[in-house]
């Protein structure tokens, strides 16, 4: 087996992808629910996924962007609708 095949078969790569997908879901959930509670959890999941994986970096970058954009948009929506931020 080559090193790239061996790296793709590592369980840590699958777990990192699952963590990144979970953070992506939390990022989207920030639009509807308190963004100041969900954003730290999403960023923490993404940081752990970043350290665990080398092959899931594209998904992690997309999730970081979604979490950031949804954090700003969710905070703006919460302010406009007079809902609590945290």
pLDDT score, position 46: 97
- Three state DSSP letters for the chain: CCHHHHHHCCHHHHHHHHHHHHHHHHHHHCCCCCHHHHHHHHHHHHHHHHHHCCCCHHHHHHHHHHHHHHHHHHHHHHHHCCCCCC
Percentage of the chain exceeding pLDDT 90: 78
Provide the domain count of the chain.
1
**Does residue 26 fall inside a structural domain?**
yes
**Does residue 53 fall inside a structural domain?**
yes
8 pLDDT band, cuts 50/70/90, is low
In terms of residue numbers, what domain contains 47?
A: 3-80
Q: What is the pTM of this model?
A: 0.84
**Does residue 70 fall inside a structural domain?**
yes
**Does residue 86 fall inside a structural domain?**
no
Q: Report how far apart, in Å, the C-alpha atoms of 82 and of each of 33, 37, 39 are.
A: 13, 17, 19
Per residue in 10-45, pLDDT tens?
899 999 999 999 999 999 999 999 999 999 999 999
**Does residue 14 fall inside a structural domain?**
yes
């Amino acid at each position: 087996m080559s090193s790239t095949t061996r790296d793709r078969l590592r369980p840590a790569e699958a777990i990192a992808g699952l963590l990144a997908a979970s953070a992506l879901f939390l990022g989207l959930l920030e639009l509807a629910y308190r963004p100041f509670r969900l954003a730290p959890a999403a960023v923490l999941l993404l940081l752990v996924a970043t350290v665990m994986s080398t092959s899931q970096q594209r998904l992690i970058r997309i999730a970081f962007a979604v979490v950031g954009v949804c954090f700003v948009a969710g905070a703006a929506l919460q302010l406009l609708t007079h809902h609590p931020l945290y």
